[in-house]
């Protein structure tokens, strides 16, 4: 039997989709609002879910980090005009090492924002929505409360 997402799961999904759409529209205010929504959620879970969704997108692209690195770097350079403060080294770390061990609180606080950017870039490269990947990442989460995908839409939720 299908269980609706919890309010926290729905908030994560909504924030990610809103953030990805904000990057597509180059809307700094909407992106920052989505990133702020993510920082209000449990950080370990958020980063783990975003990391899983990014991994699924990379698998969908059928590309290794080495192949994606220049594409992500070019996209990061392209958004610098409307979204200052993008840490290309952190994006590269997240792409190359999906389990980074942040040394400082500042890095830990920037991770959800940069995971969100990485998801937006990978989603753009894949040419599709990110919602289905977040669904699968949450469903595959190893938490005891993990639940199957809803199945309401035959293929996936695209977030569009």
Q: How many distinct structural domains can be found in the chain?
A: 1
Range of the domain at 84: 7-139
Structural domain includes residue 156: no
Structural domain includes residue 2: no
Distance of CA 137 to CAs 47, 87, 124, 130, Å?
A: 11, 25, 18, 11
Structural domain includes residue 43: yes
Structural domain includes residue 154: no
- pLDDT at residue number 74: 86
- pLDDT at residue number 76: 85
Structural domain includes residue 151: no
Structural domain includes residue 153: no
Dist. CA 57–CA 145, nearest whole Å: 23
pLDDT by residue for the chain (160 residues), tens digit each? 456 788 999 999 999 999 999 999 999 999 999 999 999 998 888 888 998 898 888 888 887 777 888 888 888 888 878 888 888 777 877 777 655 555 444 445 557 888 899 999 999 888 888 988 898 888 876 443 444 444 443 344 444 3
3-state secondary structure the chain: CCCCCCHHHHHHHHHHHHHHHHHHHCCHHHHHHHHHHHHCCCHHHHHHHHHHHHHHHHHHHCCCHHHHHHHHHHHHHHHCCCCCCCCHHHHHHHHHCCCCCCCCHHHHHHHHHHHHHHHHHHHHHHCCCCHHHHHHHHHCCCCCCCCCCCCCCCCCCCCC
> In the Cβ-directed half-sphere of 62, how many Cα atoms lie within 13 Å?
0
Dist. CA 119–CA 105, nearest whole Å: 22
Contact between 34 and 46 (Cβ < 8 Å): no
- pLDDT at residue number 11: 95
């Amino acid at each position: 039997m299908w269980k609706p997402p919890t309010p926290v799961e729905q908030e994560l999904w909504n924030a990610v989709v809103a953030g990805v759409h904000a990057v597509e529209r180059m809307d700094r205010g909407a992106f920052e609002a989505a990133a702020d929504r993510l920082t209000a959620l449990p950080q370990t879970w958020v980063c783990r879910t975003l990391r899983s969704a990014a991994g699924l997108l990379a698998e969908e692209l059928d590309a290794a980090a080495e192949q994606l690195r220049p594409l992500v770097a070019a996209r990061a350079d392209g958004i610098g005009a409307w979204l200052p403060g993008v840490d290309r080294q952190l994006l590269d770390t997240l792409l190359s090492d999906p389990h980074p061990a942040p040394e400082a609180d500042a890095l830990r606080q920037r991770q959800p924002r940069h995971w969100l950017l990485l998801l937006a870039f990978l989603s753009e490269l894949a040419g599709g929505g990110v919602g289905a990947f977040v669904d699968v990442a949450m469903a595959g989460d190893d938490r005891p409360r993990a639940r199957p995908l809803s199945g309401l839409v035959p293929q996936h939720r695209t977030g569009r």
